[in-house]
A and B are shown apart, each in its own frame.
Chain A
Amino acid sequence: MGVHLLHRAVLSIPVLFGVLLLGFMLLQLVPGDVAQVIAGPQATPEVVEQIRRDLGLDRSRVIQFFIYITRVMQGDLGYSMINNTPVISELGEAIGPTFELMIGSLLFSVPIGIALGTVAAVNRGRALDRIIIAISVFGVSMPVFFIGLMLIMYVGYHWELLPFLGRAGPLWTLDGLAHAALPSLTLGLIFIGPVARMTRTAALEVMNADYVRTARAKGLAERTVIIRHVLRNALIPVVTLIGLQAGYLLGGAVVTETIFSWPGVGRLAVGAILARDLPLAQGSILILAVSFIVINLLVDVLYGILDPRVGKR
């Protein structure tokens, strides 16, 4: 297990390096004098000169890159060109809502997807199976923004059931929960299809296994066979696939945040790119990539827990 995890962690180093290089490149694109931009318009020449020396702007690009890496490691991502606020504090405010949105959507989409996939596998070839397959194909063919706009138009505007603009507070307040409902629903709806599909395929493969026949032969109730023997083993590939699909979820989150004015990192990143606020864009892309790497490592840990064989390889 430890070795496996270490291997995965080592694999993510080049990715991290690539992301840092990208961030560094983005900062090179900032027009004008970088030191002046970072210092802000009111800075005295002494301060600008100090920053220039701190950043190593008088030295070679390679040295600048290493200075950049050490700065990032210390949590210094520069200043937003538009608000003149530290990028790290903007990100600090935005990362929470993004995780809220993702967790909110996973909480209902993963159980529903697994349930649908299992039901489909158990009823293989029957009408129910076909209906569930149809639903999941439809689900993976829907643009996120279409689902979001429809929910806003009907649930939010015509039926006036739920608010659809912004975030009102943490999830444990009633208002906060109400505001989070539609964005989470939007993001979760695109995830049910893939999860159902993966579960169905995995369950079908397991159902033909010898130990499932044995479980049936020794007279276990069908329910027990499905839940304890089939599902437990089918969940192993499903967990990895959910990890692989984290990128898909991230993409959905960026669009969902933009539609619902949800103050997360995705919306921040898009806003920064459109406004050419490169330090902020650099910071938000960096943090999204790092969270993605961390999520994948966590999935690997979970994988090891679910499947003890992984550690022995």
Chain B
Amino acid sequence: MTAVTATEPATAAPRRWGNMRRLFRDKLAITAAILLVLLVLAAILAPWLAPNDPYLTNTRLRMLPPVWEARGRWEFLLGTDGLGRCMLSRLLYGLRATLLMGIIATVIGGSIGLLLGLFAAFYRRLDGVIMHLSDILLSFPAILLGLSFAAVVGPGMTAVVISLAVATIPTVVRVTRASALVVMGQDFIEAGRSIGLNDRTLLVRYLALNCISSVFVYMTLRFGQVILLGSALSFLGLGAQPPAAELGTMASAGRNELFLAPHIAVMPSLVIVVLVLCANVLGDALRDMLDPRLRHT
């Protein structure tokens, strides 16, 4: 929500490379990008990286601490959870589930929002309807969408992904429309029209391609929010259902052993923090790159 102001369109093409160089000099943003790539790789490779079966319970090995503590064991590098399952393996699979949830919701909500935002800017007659609808959606807070979908279709990943996607639509519509309106005002749109291009070409080649970068930046920032919200819904028990490994669900399960074995709740929470922090830092850097007015220094 904090980034709704990032609506400036991409600057002219020659300057983009200068911007890219600046981004590469931004060590923090690069670190965040590298960490994100590593996390995504870890999630993709989870079946090969996980040292143990993430669902295998063992009542004799419950609540083992990580290996660097006195009772730690080498076969469970990060210890075990309340049912004796390997924490490291569950974290890898949990990361996979959380990332997948965030990506699917952001991509679905983002694509629908992008399309509607472009239509609103291109077909002026649709503008009123689309903006009113998105205002209505916007005045329905995401958490209430989550609660409502969970109440209707029952708790589960489907309810969470649907509500996150629906909550993402109106914000993307606004960002896209604002940036598309600026592009619509430029000469080349008129030029394209006058050489007889049809609406589809104008919409895709002239308009969409010129807005896509600012929408993408916004979606990077939105991704962090989606992950936070999704894991909160899972934490409440409305998302992924046990025994499924999902970071929010895992943190929630760790509440029962919070005082005996804090690592069970802390570790999945920390992974969420790193994930969201990286998305936010990267998103901020990308936005500053596109909108120099907001640059920090």
A residues in contact with B224, CB < 8 Å: 140-141
Which one, B15-23, B141-149, B201-209, is touching chain A?
B141-149
In the complex formed, the residue of B with least CB distance to A281 is B151
Q: Mark A276-296, 1 if CB is under 8 A from B, else 0.
A: 101001100100110011001
Q: Across the interface, do A18 and B136 meet the contact criterion of CB distance under 8 Å?
A: yes
Chain A nearest CB from B284 CB (Å) reads 7
Q: Across the interface, do B155 and A273 meet the contact criterion of CB distance under 8 Å?
A: yes
A153 part of interface (Cβ distance < 8 Å): yes
The A interface, classified by DSSP as helix, strand, loop or mixed, is helix
Q: Across the interface, do A251 and B152 meet the contact criterion of CB distance under 8 Å?
A: no
A residues in contact with B2, CB < 8 Å: 140, 194, 197-198
Scan residues 176-214 of chain A and give those whose CB is less than 8 A from a CB of chain B: 194, 197-198, 201
Q: Across the interface, do B235 and A145 meet the contact criterion of CB distance under 8 Å?
A: yes
In the complex formed, the residue of A with least CB distance to B276 is A141
Chain B nearest CB from A151 CB (Å) reads 11
A residues in contact with B136, CB < 8 Å: 11, 14-15, 18
Q: Mark B217-244, 1 if CB is under 8 A from A, else 0.
A: 0000000100011011001111000000
B252 part of interface (Cβ distance < 8 Å): yes
Chain A nearest CB from B134 CB (Å) reads 12
A34 part of interface (Cβ distance < 8 Å): no
Q: How far is the CA of A258 from the CA of B237 in the complex (A)?
A: 10
B91 part of interface (Cβ distance < 8 Å): no
A143-B231, A270-B236, A285-B144 known; A25 and B258 CB under 8 Å?
A: no
B297 part of interface (Cβ distance < 8 Å): yes
Q: Across the interface, do A137 and B139 meet the contact criterion of CB distance under 8 Å?
A: no
Scan residues 154-208 of chain B and give those whose CB is less than 8 A from a CB of chain A: 154-155
A residues in contact with B142, CB < 8 Å: 247, 251
B residues in contact with A247, CB < 8 Å: 1, 141-144
Chain A nearest CB from B233 CB (Å) reads 9
A125 part of interface (Cβ distance < 8 Å): yes
Contact-size category for A: 35 or more
Q: How far is the CA of A246 from the CA of B138 in the complex (A)?
A: 12
Q: Across the interface, do B252 and A145 meet the contact criterion of CB distance under 8 Å?
A: yes
Q: Mark A119-145, 1 if CB is under 8 A from B, else 0.
A: 000001100011001000110111111
The CB with the most chain B CB atoms within 10 A, among A19, A246, A248, is that of A248
Q: Across the interface, do B296 and A125 meet the contact criterion of CB distance under 8 Å?
A: yes
A146-B273, A251-B229 known; A140 and B280 CB under 8 Å?
A: yes
Q: Across the interface, do A137 and B151 meet the contact criterion of CB distance under 8 Å?
A: no
A55 part of interface (Cβ distance < 8 Å): no
Residues of A participating in the B interface, judged by any CB pair closer than 8 Å: 11-12, 14-15, 18-19, 22, 25-26, 29, 124-125, 129-130, 133, 137-138, 140-146, 149-150, 152-153, 157, 194, 197-198, 201, 244-248, 250-251, 254-255, 258-259, 269-270, 272-274, 276, 278, 281-282, 285, 288-289, 292-293, 296
29 example contacts (A-B, Cβ-Cβ < 8 A) are as follows A11-B132, A18-B140, A25-B152, A26-B151, A140-B2, A141-B276, A143-B273, A145-B232, A145-B251, A146-B266, A146-B270, A149-B254, A149-B265, A150-B266, A153-B259, A246-B141, A247-B141, A247-B144, A248-B1, A251-B142, A270-B238, A274-B155, A278-B151, A281-B147, A285-B147, A288-B147, A289-B144, A292-B140, A296-B139
